[in-house]
Chain A
Amino acid sequence: MFSHVFKYRMKCFLGDRVTLFWTMIFPILLSTLFLMAFSNFSKATGFTGINVAVVDNNAFRENKPFQDALASVAEKRGDEEPLLSVRLVSREEAEKLLGDGEVHGIILLDPDIKLVVNQRGFNQSIIKSFLDQYQQIRASYSSLFQMIPELLASRDALEDFPVDYDFLVEKVPGKNETDITVTYFYALLAMTTLYGSFWGIRVVHETQADQSMEGARVNVAPVHKIKMLLAGMLAAWIIQFAELAILVLYMSTVLKVSFGDQAGCILITCLVGSLTGITFGTMVGGLIKRRYGLKIGVMLGITMTMSGFAGLYFASFKYKVIKAVPIMAYINPANLITDALYALYYFDTYERFALNIALLMAFAAVFCLATYLSVRRNRYAGIPSIQESD
């Protein structure tokens, strides 16, 4: 009997185009939009060299040391962008370039070195740091010569000002590159996982006699109700898991979103996550009696808020929420899913991943229990008339 019910539940669910749309097609479309929206992200936030206009006046032409210093930072440093891209122009032209946003700042020798900008930011400050440095090095030399005048005479004894940065050693932060945009995709996956509750709500709705016509019908059938419920949940779980697997496959192969390389762990996340999602739905379905629309509304409200806290709208929100309220790292299922994927992507160890998965399973167990308590032993003296459309 179980297999019979299971088979027909599968058939019914696979014919439910509306739910299939929300649990699979919609996330696929949204992830595509995410990709489009971030297509220029790394280019726009990365360092691309700074444009400066240098006013070509007499003071500049006569200042050979400054010209040399400028030339040294305008050269390509290996395969990196040069620090400054310099344009030699007249004063009027320089101001026009600045006004049009073609350059970040104007260097003017008047005859003291001066910087002209129209906004502040890292680019402008880097130009200033460079100009500061030029004058600071001169200050260092002159204060040294003041202290030890002999050095001025015997140049051989003088150690030149060092220019290399060899002492700064770059350490890689995590296993993969820091790329905050992956969080959006992970949070989207978390949202989709919790959308499994669409199925969950439907499962309960169609087994409760006071909620739908189908429920009333199956209640008079000689099958144990829990068996009925479990068959529906199993069908929903399989479908939801397949949908998630398709979504992950789409994201990683078509959209080239990086998930790290532990396919097995990602599938475990999907499997456990979809169970959490579905049981969340059955719980909402069980606790809220009647009104299908209300159940969907409550479920969507909670899901979208949780996903928001997990970084769906602003990736850095996930971090800020947890920093402000640390417990949110453990009690928000959407965050658990996002964090599990993030931990796989970024961390070398599996502890954080394992903790997230364990907590997800705990949530599924709690939701199951709540569902069971809300639907067990329901008896009806009579059922209010159920309208098809509601």
Chain B
Amino acid sequence: MPVFQAYKRVIKKNIPQLMIYIVVFVTFAAILMSSGVPASIVKFDDARARMVYVDEDSSVLTEGLKSYLSRYADFADVKHDRASLQDALFFEEVDYILRIPAGFTENFMAGRPVEIEKTSRPSSTSSVYLDMNIGKFINTARFYLANIPGISQQELVDRVSADLSVETSVEVISADINPDFGETLSIFYNYMSYVILNLLILGVGTFMLVFNQLDLRRRTLCSPVPLRQQNMQILFGNLIYAMVCWIIVMALGFVMYGNAMPAKQAVLVALNTIVFTFVSLSISFLIGSTLRKREAMSAVTNVLSLGMCFTGGAFVPQYLIGEQVLSFARIFPTYWYVRFNDEIINMPNITWDLLKPRLGYLGMQLGIAVAVLAVALVIVKQKRQAENA
């Protein structure tokens, strides 16, 4: 199988370039992993925002407020100068900055109007949440202060804390998979589409670029190996290469997140990935048979893979992408691949009824693959005729 042997040599020479994508992918996954694998939830805890508590008054009352707030927020370790606070808020290190000005407690205890400065990102959910809980503390304190003249700070804090410790009971139903972790898995597998696409375009594309050089092509055409057999060997090489890529990325997924996903989900995601690998193969085939220059190929590869992955939601979750962009992205296989992953990974119990409509996403990918392949074959045919003429 001389053509197949040549294929192997071309790939081997390009291993360093291909490794870049694998290494970046592994690094990325490792960073993602470092956020930890949380256990599934059995009991409800209050959500925690990250805040900075700048207390310029330091009294029994403000200390009381701080210890009460520690139920709803983690206090971030940020320097209290203006620039550090601005940076921390901008880059989402903290959600909320509360500044209690000096003299607050004195005015408050005397019943005079007071002000607490808050800074948060505009209309964020976490700021609504903290506003509400800070309000509860201050308002309860105001209530006691107005009705019990002369109440001491300590007593006030004790009473308020006692009242605010009343909690509603919460029942948690059917939470098989932790939503936080589902998101991590989605990010990982969605990003995988970018890696697969690049591995295939670079590998298959480079081989075809080499093999389609005019002189080389002429030489192989007059060799005793029949054209049909040559094509079969190329096809064989392509399929083997695609399979190897698929096995590598799936093995990485298995090593890193092997036990994080229920078996049913794992099988379906693997199926989705293999379908996507097939689509990528046909796209690579199209690119490889159209382009003639290496520089052009790296440009097309980047634009195409980044374009499809950005609009399809492989990098940024689909819910962050606008409606119009998403409806346009439906022509890309990445869109269907990502949608399948997102929906399957976050589905607590997979039943046939739930699965059936999602199989259509796989069908869309296959449809796109066939269409692209058809175009590629037409181009190949035309090119061959042009060369013959």
Contact = CB atoms under 8 A, between A and B. Distances in A.
Interface of A: 18, 21-22, 26, 29-30, 33-34, 36-41, 44-47, 80, 83, 95, 98-99, 112-126, 128-133, 135-137, 139-140, 143-144, 147-148, 151, 158-159, 161-163, 165-174, 177-178, 180, 183, 315-316, 318-320, 323, 342, 346-347, 352
Contacts of B179: 119, 121
A112 B113 CA distance: 36
Counting contact residues on chain B (CB < 8 A from A), the size range is 35 or more
B143 interface: yes
A26 B321 CA distance: 21
Contacts of A159: 143, 146-147
Interface in B72-113: 72, 83, 85-93, 97, 99, 113
A323 B319 CA distance: 30
A171 B49 CA distance: 18
Given A116-B171, A135-B166, A159-B143, 4 more contacts: A117-B172, A167-B115, A169-B115, A318-B91
Contact of A163 (B139, B147, B174, B295): B139
B254 interface: no
Interface in B165-180: 166-175, 179
B83 A121 contact: no
Contacts of B159: 140, 143
A115 B90 contact: no
Given A126-B129, A144-B147, A115 B169 contact: yes
Interface string B133-170: 11110111011101110000000000100111011111
B139 A162 contact: yes
A178 B136 CA distance: 27
A180 B86 contact: no
A129 B162 contact: no
Nearest to B128: A47
A37 B123 contact: no
Contacts of B315: 37
B368 to A, nearest CB: 20
A194 B252 CA distance: 33
A18 B170 contact: no
A177 to B, nearest CB: 6
Nearest to B98: A168
B325 A36 contact: yes
A289 B97 CA distance: 53
B121 interface: yes
Given A132-B166, A168-B116, A178-B121, A36 B143 contact: no
Nearest to B133: A129
A46 B172 CA distance: 25
B44 interface: yes
Interface in B288-305: 295, 299, 302-303
Given A30-B306, A135-B166, A40 B172 contact: no
Given A30-B306, A40-B320, A173-B86, A118 B119 contact: no
A47 B120 CA distance: 12
A316 B303 contact: no
B169 A180 contact: no
A18 B294 CA distance: 11
A136 B140 contact: yes
Contacts of A119: 41, 175, 179
Contacts of B120: 170
Contacts of A166: 113
11 contacts: A29-B307, A36-B325, A114-B170, A117-B44, A119-B179, A165-B131, A165-B135, A168-B118, A169-B118, A171-B117, A319-B90
Contact of B91 (A80, A118, A315, A352): A315
Contacts of A163: 139
B186 interface: no
Given A173-B90, A316-B92, A38 B307 contact: no
Contacts of B215: none
A39 B87 contact: no
Contacts of B117: 169, 171
Given A33-B307, A41-B320, A161-B143, A118 B173 contact: yes
A111 to B, nearest CB: 12
B382 interface: no
B114 interface: yes
Nearest to B151: A147
B47 A158 contact: no
A147 B122 CA distance: 42
A171 B72 CA distance: 21
Given A118-B172, A143-B163, A37 B310 contact: yes
A136 B173 contact: no
B119 A122 contact: no
B92 to A, nearest CB: 5
A168 B168 contact: no
A180 B316 CA distance: 14
Given A30-B306, A139-B166, A167-B113, A162 B142 contact: yes
A46 B124 contact: yes
A360 B174 CA distance: 55
Contacts of B357: none
Contacts of A169: 115-118
A165 B324 CA distance: 39
Given A132-B168, A319-B91, A352 B148 contact: no
Contact of A174 (B90, B170, B295): B90
A131 B125 CA distance: 17
A120 B45 contact: yes
Contact of B321 (A29, A40, A121, A151): A40
B135 A168 contact: yes
Interface in B39-90: 41, 44-47, 49, 72, 83, 85-90
Contacts of A133: 132, 136
Contacts of B316: 37-38
Contacts of A323: 93
B170 A47 contact: no
Contact of A115 (B41, B92, B162, B171): B171
B119 A170 contact: yes
Contacts of B41: 119-120
Contacts of B306: 29-30, 33
Contacts of A352: 83
